Amino acid sequence: MAARKKATQSLKKLKQPVSETGARPAARVSRGRTHPGGASFPVAPPRSELPRGYAKTFGEIKQRILQERLRVVLTANATMVLLYWDIGRMILDRQERAGWGAKVIDRLAADLRGAFPDMKGFSPRNLKYMRAFAAAWPDLAIVQQVAAQIPWFHNCLLLDRVPDPTARNWYIRQVTEHGWSRNILTLQIDAHAHQRHGKAITNFTGTLPPDDSDMAAQVFKDPYLFDFLGTADPRREREVEQALVDHIQRFLLELGQGFAFVGRQVQLAFASRDYFLDLLFYHLKLRCYVVIELKAVPFDPEFIGQINVYLSAVDDLLRHPDDKPTIGLLLCRSKDRIVVEYALRDLKKPIGVAGWQTKIVEKLPANLKGSLPTVEEIEAELSREENER
């Protein structure tokens, strides 16, 4: 019997994956318990336990990601700038051959906005910039090599302020080399920098601007570019959500009513996919976890299912037997205001396969008043922040 048990244990060890060095990987670190099905709240191990050379490898990977992200967004920017040049060229051509005037541009702008309502780059003003851009750079090859390498608003600034093509070449070179923001470019133009630093350099090497430069930061936030790509709304929603996360975290901790910060963007890992809880607190007075989800969009019933999963996972994997059931706080944008609701699980009313449901309640139960901020307090705080922007 002992021999059979020993053989079984040896077999289990053989089935465990082995690294190239012959060492068996350490168990994954997680908060609380791990569900038999694989669900857990994984956390990163301390850096002191990592192998030598990790920091260097991390730095190399991070730098590669930064460079490739910038390369992708600048490629998209170049495509958009070339499109604008082509639109401007067509407008110029029609004006010369068919006598198009300002009224036609207004009509064209209205029709383009009707065809592409999510794109803000087709105003009459911007169409006129496209026309001026095509007139200033008649050679497509030069546009591809020079002007398409910088953001559109930088090009508009150069069109307004620098009539000389040679000088424009010089400024574009400096923008791509040093990553100048529009404000810095304006200052350099005001100082006539191209006259103080020698003749223009027209040999563009195709190198990327510094990934931490002001220009790189601006091109990542260019509204025309993300409208053009069709990715503007999700990106803006995420930025708003992150700002709300920052603010509500500070607000709850400053209340001094028992909130203890556990984490933000807390990973919840399933076998099929990962989720991330916006904010996770533990309430010292109520003796329960508090999950906070923030959405920069109007309320959607799907949000209830999402926060329900989070509440169940926290109860199953993190909650101590002496803790009270986890509370969920859902903040959504509705019309022009923030709507705040508390989501509380009701295990006594099973529905369908789920076996439980989460309700949105208009008022907190009496036993929670005084320990959690009221809906009105949170709405007033977030409305105050919006008014200060």
For residues 51 and 56, what is the distance between their CA atoms, to the nearest angstrom? 11
Residue 288 bridge partners (DSSP):
283
Identify the residue with better confidence: 177 or 135. Answer: 135
Residue 268 bridge partners (DSSP):
275
Domain coordinates in residue numbering, the chain: 59-230, 235-388
pTM over 0.75: no
- The tokens describing 286, both together, are 């109520």
Checking if the pLDDT of 363 tops 90, the result is no
* 235-388: in CATH 1.10.3470: no
Per-residue pLDDT tens for 319-348? 999 998 888 888 776 645 566 666 655 443
Half-sphere exposure (Cβ direction) of 320: Cα atoms closer than 13 Å:
8
- Tell which phi-psi region holds residue 10, choosing left (phi > 0), alpha (psi between -120 and 50) or beta: alpha
Picking from 61, 66, 59, the residue whose alpha carbon sits closest to that of residue 179 is: 66
Q: Are 143 and 81 in contact (CB under 8 A)?
A: yes
Share of the chain above pLDDT 70, in %: 65
Give the model's confidence band at 146: pLDDT under 50 very low, under 70 low, under 90 confident, else very high.
Answer: confident
User: What's the 3-state SS for 184-234?
Assistant: HHHHHHHCCHHHHCCCCCCCCCCCCCCCCCHHHHHHHCCHHHHHHHCCHHH
Pairing of strands 274-283, 337-346: unpaired
Give the model's confidence band at 207: pLDDT under 50 very low, under 70 low, under 90 confident, else very high.
Answer: low
